[in-house]
Amino acid sequence: MLSFNSSNIASKTRTIGRRMFLLNSIKVIVVFGILGRLASLQINESSKYRSLADKNRFRETKVAPPRGIIEDYFGNEIAGNTRIYQLHITPENTPDIDKLLVRLKNLIKLSDKKAALIQKKIKKQKKWETVIISDNLSWSEFSRLNLFLHELEGAQPIVSIARIYTNNASAHAIGYVSEISPRDIRKKKYLKNINISGISVGKTGLESSFDKEMLGAPGYLRYEVNAYGKKIKQVSVNKGLSGKTFRTTLDNDIQVFSSKLLENVSGAACVMDIYNGDIISMVSTPTFNPNSFVHGIDKKEWSDLLKNRDKPMINKAISGLYPPGSTIKTLTALSALENDVVSSKLVVKCKGYIDLSGERFHCWKKKGHGIVGMRTALKKSCDVYFYEVARRLGIDRLADTAKKFGLGAKVLKDYEEEKVGVVPDTKWKIKELGKNWYIGETLHSGIGQGYFLSTPLQLCLMTAQIANGGFKIKPRILVNKDNKTSDLQKFRSYKNSILGKIMPDNQQINNFNLQPLFRNQENINLVKEAMFAATNEPGGTSYRSRISDKQFMFAGKTGSSQIKRFTEAQREAEVKQENITYLERDHAWFVAFAPVSDPKYAISVLVEHGGSGSKAAAPLANRIIKKVLERHKARSSYSDTLVDNSNIVGDDI
């Protein structure tokens, strides 16, 4: 018979009770913990997890906004946008990419090489990211794709926009766009976060300098996906913000005219308003087709451009460096007069050469010019006269004057590719070459040879600041919003309004906040008068290119920059430039201002290996000047309209 100890039973009961209590307490704690966590997830963190769920449910694809427009002064498009047809695929929606690519080869231009590159690209990126198969389909290809679309699972023919340039004349000034590259991303930090397939960015010119502003703000396509990441439907579209439109100071008509005029030579032409610094025209030849780069340039075309003797990809107007030749004689004369080194009455006998320190320096005219004064020396471009002036002046004072008038510095801030050139002096030679300066180099510099290097735009600025009476101007190629009249324009208008009244020059200059580049304005006037003689008086170096009609009459200075020194035998035989190998011929220069009676514009023309400024460059300048002056009334009227409109609040010009 079993017997039970009541005390043991009671003890066990208590133990079990305690354990049950502890277990139930744990259960309660766990339940309340779970309930608390659920409450936290449902209430406190609901927005966080809803956002995470939406990220799984929705996806976004960035889309490029319309690129900003570039216009000429009159609002005509130089660089705009056009409708194009493209073919995209999304790998996640394409069951058999290989089969699709094979089928596409029969419908569009798709080479085996391009197909292989597409395959590589697909492997490197995410399966839902769009791949562009062709970014510029013809209408017939686009129609064909839509006709057979039921057989092309995953293919997406779409209508998009791309850059288009109205002509090749402004290819160097405006630049071009092309597909973004790793180098672009390294160079331009703002591109790192864009991440848009196939987007084009500026590579050169204004397209590159103002790329960030013209890109605008990207938009996006938002679409819903299923659990496998496949698109179900498009939810929303944001087109983004279009890029900024830029209005330039260029006249497209003159750009096209000048480019056409120079199409058979390698060179450049620049035209500038002498009062406000507007760049009316800036062309470089030979030019290229900027539209070729938009969708990727053909390998052969690119190779032809690189191998071309005349280097069409270089903007010679701002990146080409050349000795300024005899055009610098205007500054040599001015500097000597301003520094009281010589007077305008100095006469020198030119017998065709001058001997100095055991070296003979020749004049371009073998038999010499005889006895010449400063005006005649500029008119006939006598080298011997300016050897003597330069010898007395010294290189450092000549360099100071050259820098004052814009040489040795960038003219515009808008171009990365612009070169500063070289204005040599004693310190420059020691710093750059580690050698002392010698007197013979001063003589070479006095006629624009030796170490001197300038761009066509720099010489245009130099001429403009001589033509406006010797005042500093700030050149520009983009129009300000308000298009305000410059202080120099106001000064000119005021002087015209007080004809016959006397007012001290210093008081006039101070009242209009001008920056004179002269000590005595009579010295500027003498140079201008000599330039008039060089073009409009018999014996002047550009007399054959003169225009007798006063409304188009101009004053100019020719120049030839030597590439290779003439041998004594060539000099004795009087060998002509046209009989020398092309690449050994001198570069031809011409600078001028017009009209003579009331100067408004300055021009510089360069013809590479043109031989003679009077024969190659001056005749071209003649025709450009006439075209510019014919367009002056239209430009002036349009400018007045813009000034009036700038007073309207909220209008961006």
Residue 545, pLDDT > 90, answer yes
What token pair was written down for 371?
Answer: 């006895």
Q: Which residue has the higher pLDDT, 491 or 192?
A: 192
Contacts of 307 (CB under 8 A, 6+ apart): none
Three-state SS sequence of 276-322: CCEEEEEEEECCCCCHHHHCCCCHHHHHHHHHCCCCCCCCHHHHCCE
Q: Closest Cα partner for 62 from 220, 182, 188?
A: 220
Q: Which range, of 109-123, 514-528, 535-549, averages the lowest pLDDT?
A: 109-123
Residue 415, pLDDT > 70, answer yes
Specify whether the CB–CB gap between 281 and 258 falls below 8 A: yes
Among 124-133, 158-167, 184-193, 240-249, name the most confident range: 240-249
Residue 53, pLDDT > 70, answer no
Q: Closest Cα partner for 268 from 419, 403, 446?
A: 419
What token pair was written down for 42?
Answer: 């449902």
What token pair was written down for 277?
Answer: 């610094």
Quote the pLDDT of residue 81: 92
Q: Closest Cα partner for 558 from 609, 604, 624?
A: 604
Q: What is the pLDDT of residues 346-356, one digit of tens each?
A: 999 999 999 99
Band (229; pLDDT cuts 50, 70, 90): low
Mean pLDDT for the chain overall? 86
Quote the pLDDT of residue 650: 32
Percentage of residues of the chain with pLDDT beyond 90: 56
Q: What is the pLDDT of residues 468-497, one digit of tens each?
A: 999 999 999 999 765 666 677 777 776 666
Number of C-beta neighbours around residue 322 at 10 A:
24
Count, residues in the chain: 653
Percentage of residues of the chain with pLDDT beyond 70: 87
Q: Closest Cα partner for 645 from 514, 449, 483, 456?
A: 483
Residue 49, pLDDT > 70, answer no
Among 92-106, 214-228, 324-338, name the most confident range: 324-338
Quote the pLDDT of residue 593: 98
Residue 219, pLDDT > 60, answer yes
What token pair was written down for 22?
Answer: 């502890």
Residue 274, pLDDT > 80, answer yes
Backbone dihedral angles phi then psi of residue 453, each to the nearest 5 degrees: -140, 130
Q: What is the pLDDT of residues 66-84, one digit of tens each?
A: 899 999 999 999 999 988 8
CA 517, CA 334: separation in Å to the nearest integer? 11
Residue 4, pLDDT > 70, answer no
Residue 198, pLDDT > 80, answer no
What residue ranges define each of the domains in the chain, with the CATH number in brackets?
64-247 (3.90.1310.10), 252-325+431-639 (3.40.710.10)
Q: What is the pLDDT of residues 121-137, one digit of tens each?
A: 777 777 767 777 777 78
CA 467, CA 604: separation in Å to the nearest integer? 13
**Continuous segment of H or E residues that includes residue 102:** helix 97-105
Among 120-124, 316-320, 509-513, name the most confident range: 316-320
Band (519; pLDDT cuts 50, 70, 90): very high
Q: Whole-model pTM above 0.95?
A: no
CA 256, CA 319: separation in Å to the nearest integer? 20
Q: Closest Cα partner for 421 from 474, 391, 459?
A: 459
Interhelix angle 521-536/329-338, nearest 10 degrees? 150
Residue 157, pLDDT > 50, answer yes
